[in-house]
């Protein structure tokens, strides 16, 4: 039943355009945007995470909160480009268990980053040492989840089993 | 003018550069001149960047030569390729470590001029000597391909030559045929390297462009080695991709553009973010506005890295639709 829904999506004009159009703005363009969005989203998280873990100790922690803006810009780039890629290949993605692993890891990574924000960056009374001590566990998990999410995403191209379009 | 010219245009630079760099490096330490030390480290890094397109243009040069009238000594070409691959890898490692050494000169928490760490000096010295040795073999075998008059009988049939001729085929086999997971794992590493580059090099340049001005530049500058590590990871994994499937890339114009952009972006990183000439930018404090030149360079650097990502993503498409190459 799901498969027929996926195939109905694949038959739509948008889905076909994403997959088959000769326009330089179809599939490979969306994939490029998805790669840049990944760099912004995960890059900003890595910058915050590494500082919380004690690297670049002269870098003041509190202003790093600004990089959360880049996390959200990156996140919405990923949602938009990701949904377009999904429209192009619904069967290929949604029949692959690894796809759900990837989404779960992204959810966990974002949750870790948000908890870091709420527990560490939102509390102006904390000293830098206290911020690092309190934030450490969230930073470690966020980095682990991001590496996992990127790996799962990359491996999607090698692990799909059903391709109907 | 054809693509084989590119190899001829580039191929003397890394070889002579490895020796000139080593000479400068030794003189700098004998004279204990910090300026000369930084010059030689920057020189190694720039030569390492030039070595990338030099290696990648070799396959095309070989294809073009195959069609010429004289027959090429195939064993010699294979040995040259093996020596070139080893030279390239050692040159990249030398360049990466030299760049970290150069960066160490600008560490703000140490009294100026911050001394370069002894481990870095030792590693760059050892690696650059090995590189110079490899480059000699590469130049020797490469020259002999078109100059049989310099070739002696024992050169062609030596055990080292026979071993050298197997390097590229065995690396290629490892990347593409040993397991179906090697390629995807290398791609994943290439993506993680990209993230490190965007985080450290992108973050610094974003600040130099005038964003997140609350942050002082110097501590962001301290994270640069993570970006350098990402760059070295991506150059090494990129070399392995190329060795695995050379003709997926060798004739592709977008690949040529990507390599040119990498040399430019890497050069920008070395000259503007790591040498003492532009160190005043790294001293900008919290809230301070970067000078217009710094903003222009930062914007160019960010654009170049974006272009590199996009060109990389488009490579499979152009390979399919342009049907480039013979």
* B289 CB within 8 Å of a chain A CB: no
Residues of chain A in contact with residue B197, where contact means CB-CB under 8 angstroms, are 39
Task: Using the predicted structure, report yes or no on whether residue B68 has a pLDDT greater than 90.
Answer: no
Give the residue extent of every domain in chain A. Answer: 2-159
Task: Look at A66 and B212 and tell me if their CB atoms are within 8 Å.
Answer: yes
- The beta-carbon neighbor of A43 closest among B181, B199, B312 is B199
Mutate to test the interface with A, among B106, B195, B319 (most CBs of A within 10 A): B195
- The beta-carbon neighbor of A39 closest among B184, B194, B316 is B194
d(CA B116, CA B127): 16
Q: What is the pLDDT of residue B163?
A: 81
Average of pLDDT values for B215-236? 93
Task: Using the predicted structure, report yes or no on whether residue B152 has a pLDDT greater than 70.
Answer: no
Residues of chain B in contact with residue A40, where contact means CB-CB under 8 angstroms, are 198
Average of pLDDT values for B85-109? 89
Task: Using the predicted structure, report yes or no on whether residue B295 has a pLDDT greater than 60.
Answer: yes
d(CA B130, CA B140): 15
3-state secondary structure of B151: coil
Residue of higher predicted confidence among B111 and B63: B63
Mutate to test the interface with A, among B187, B198, B315, B316 (most CBs of A within 10 A): B198
d(CA A153, CA A122): 31
pLDDT digits (tens, 9 = 90+) for A43-53: 999 999 999 99
Q: Are B317 and A28 in contact (CB under 8 A)?
A: yes
ipTM of the complex: 0.94
Q: Which residues contact B17 (CB under 8 A, 6 or more apart)?
A: B43, B46, B47, B50
Residue of higher predicted confidence among B270 and B323: B270
Task: Look at B212 and A56 and tell me if their CB atoms are within 8 Å.
Answer: no
Going by C-alpha positions, the residue among B112, B111, B117 that lies closest to residue B276 is B112
* Lowest mean pLDDT, pick from A33-37, B139-143, B299-303: B139-143
Residues of chain B in contact with residue A46, where contact means CB-CB under 8 angstroms, are 195-196, 199
d(CA B161, CA B175): 23
- Cα B297 off chain centre by: 21
Task: Using the predicted structure, report yes or no on whether residue A125 has a pLDDT greater than 70.
Answer: yes
Q: What is the pLDDT of residue A164?
A: 84
d(CA A146, CA A52): 16
pLDDT digits (tens, 9 = 90+) for B156-173: 556 677 788 899 999 999
Going by C-alpha positions, the residue among B322, B96, B123, B110 that lies closest to residue B226 is B96
Average of pLDDT values for B35-45? 94
Instruction: Locate B307 and state its tokens.
Output: 């272009």
Task: Look at A55 and B212 and tell me if their CB atoms are within 8 Å.
Answer: no
Contacts for A24-28 with beta carbons within 8 Å, 24 or more apart? A24/B314, A27/A85, A27/A88, A27/B317, A28/B313, A28/B314, A28/B316, A28/B317
- The beta-carbon neighbor of A28 closest among B220, B222, B313 is B313
Task: Using the predicted structure, report yes or no on whether residue B239 has a pLDDT greater than 50.
Answer: yes
Task: Look at A59 and B180 and tell me if their CB atoms are within 8 Å.
Answer: no
Closest CA in chain A for residue B311: A32
pTM for the whole thing?
0.93
Q: What percent of chain B has pLDDT over 70?
A: 90
Task: Look at A157 and B192 and tell me if their CB atoms are within 8 Å.
Answer: no
* A160 CB within 8 Å of a chain B CB: no
Closest CA in chain B for residue A54: B223
Closest CA in chain B for residue A46: B199
Average of pLDDT values for B299-307? 97
DSSP-assigned states of every residue in B159-185: HHHHHHTTHHHHHHHHHHTS-TTHHHH
Compute the residue count for chain B: 326
Q: What is the pLDDT of residue B322?
A: 57
Q: What is the pLDDT of residue B108?
A: 45
* B20 CB within 8 Å of a chain A CB: no
- The beta-carbon neighbor of B219 closest among A35, A38, A59 is A59
Residues of chain B in contact with residue A58, where contact means CB-CB under 8 angstroms, are 108-109, 216, 218-219, 222
pLDDT digits (tens, 9 = 90+) for B252-267: 999 999 999 999 999 9
Count other C-beta atoms under 10 Å from residue B307's C-beta: 17
Instruction: Locate B296 and state its tokens.
Output: 């222009």
User: Based on C-alpha coordinates, what's the Rg of chain A?
Assistant: 19
Give the residue extent of every domain in chain B. Answer: 1-165, 171-326
Q: Which residues contact B5 (CB under 8 A, 6 or more apart)?
A: none
Residues of chain B in contact with residue A57, where contact means CB-CB under 8 angstroms, are 219
- Cα A30 off chain centre by: 15
Task: Using the predicted structure, report yes or no on whether residue B210 has a pLDDT greater than 80.
Answer: yes
* B114 CB within 8 Å of a chain A CB: no
Task: Using the predicted structure, report yes or no on whether residue B238 has a pLDDT greater than 70.
Answer: yes
Q: Are A47 and A61 in contact (CB under 8 A)?
A: no
Residues of chain B in contact with residue A102, where contact means CB-CB under 8 angstroms, are none
Mean pLDDT of chain B: 89
d(CA B290, CA B299): 12
Mean pLDDT of chain A: 94
* B321 CB within 8 Å of a chain A CB: yes
* B313 CB within 8 Å of a chain A CB: yes
Task: Using the predicted structure, report yes or no on whether residue A94 has a pLDDT greater than 80.
Answer: yes
* B225 CB within 8 Å of a chain A CB: no
* A107 CB within 8 Å of a chain B CB: no
Residues of chain A in contact with residue B306, where contact means CB-CB under 8 angstroms, are 36
- The beta-carbon neighbor of A58 closest among B194, B196, B222 is B222
* Lowest mean pLDDT, pick from A79-83, B244-248, B303-307: B244-248
Q: What is the pLDDT confidence band of residue B63, given thresholds at 50, 70 and 90?
A: confident
pLDDT digits (tens, 9 = 90+) for B161-208: 778 889 999 999 999 999 999 999 999 999 999 999 999 999 999 999
pLDDT digits (tens, 9 = 90+) for A129-164: 999 999 999 999 999 999 999 999 999 999 999 988
- The beta-carbon neighbor of B203 closest among A47, A63, A158 is A47
Instruction: Locate B315 and state its tokens.
Output: 């490579």
Q: What is the pLDDT of residue B311?
A: 95
Count other C-beta atoms under 10 Å from residue B182's C-beta: 16
Q: Which residues contact B303 (CB under 8 A, 6 or more apart)?
A: none
Compute the residue count for chain A: 165
């Amino acid at each position: 039943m799901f498969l027929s829904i996926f195939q109905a999506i694949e038959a739509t004009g948008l889905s076909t355009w994403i997959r088959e159009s000769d326009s330089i703005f179809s599939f490979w363009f969306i994939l490029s945007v998805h790669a840049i969005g990944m760099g912004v989203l995960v890059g900003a998280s890595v910058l915050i995470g590494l500082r919380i873990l004690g690297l670049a100790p002269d870098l003041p922690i509190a202003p790093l909160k600004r990089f959360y803006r880049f996390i959200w810009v990156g996140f919405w780039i990923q949602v938009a480009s990701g949904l377009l890629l999904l429209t192009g290949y619904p069967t290929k993605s949604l029949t692959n268990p690894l796809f759900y692993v990837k989404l779960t890891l992204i959810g966990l990574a974002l949750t870790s980053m948000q908890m870091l924000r709420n527990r560490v960056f939102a509390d102006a009374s904390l000293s830098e040492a206290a911020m690092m001590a309190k934030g450490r566990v969230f930073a470690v998990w966020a980095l682990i989840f991001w590496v996992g999410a990127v790996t799962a995403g990359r491996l999607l191209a090698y692990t799909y089993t059903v391709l109907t379009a | 003018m054809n693509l084989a010219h590119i190899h001829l245009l580039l191929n003397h630079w890394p070889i002579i550069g490895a020796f000139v760099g080593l000479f400068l490096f030794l003189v700098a330490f004998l004279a204990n001149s910090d300026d000369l030390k930084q010059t030689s480290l920057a020189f190694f890094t720039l030569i390492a960047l030039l070595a990338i397109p030099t290696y990648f243009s070799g396959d095309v040069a070989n294809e073009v030569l195959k069609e010429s009238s004289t027959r090429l000594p195939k064993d010699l070409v294979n040995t040259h390729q093996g020596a070139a691959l080893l030279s390239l890898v050692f040159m990249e490692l030398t360049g990466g470590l030299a760049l970290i050494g150069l960066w160490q000169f600008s560490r703000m928490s140490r009294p100026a001029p911050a001394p370069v760490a002894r481990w870095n000096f030792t590693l760059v010295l050892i690696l650059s000597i090995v590189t110079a040795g490899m480059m000699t073999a590469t130049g020797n075998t490469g020259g002999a391909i078109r100059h049989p008059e310099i070739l002696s009988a024992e050169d062609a049939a030596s055990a080292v030559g026979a071993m050298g001729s197997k390097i590229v085929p065995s690396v290629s086999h490892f990347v593409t045929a040993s397991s179906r997971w090697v390629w995807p794992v290398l791609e994943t590493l290439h993506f993680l390297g990209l993230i490190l580059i965007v985080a450290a090099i992108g973050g610094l340049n974003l600040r130099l462009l005038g964003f997140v001005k609350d942050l002082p530049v110097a501590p962001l500058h301290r994270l640069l080695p993570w970006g350098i590590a990402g760059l070295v990871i991506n150059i090494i994994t990129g070399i392995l991709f190329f060795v695995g499937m050379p003709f997926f890339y060798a004739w592709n114009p977008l690949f040529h553009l990507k390599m040119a952009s990498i040399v430019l972006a890497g050069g920008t990183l070395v000259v503007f973010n790591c040498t003492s000439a532009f160190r005043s930018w790294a001293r900008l404090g919290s809230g301070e506005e970067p000078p217009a030149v710094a903003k222009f360079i930062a914007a160019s650097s960010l654009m170049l890295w974006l272009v590199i990502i996009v060109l990389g993503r488009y490579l499979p498409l152009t390979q399919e639709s342009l049907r480039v190459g013979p």
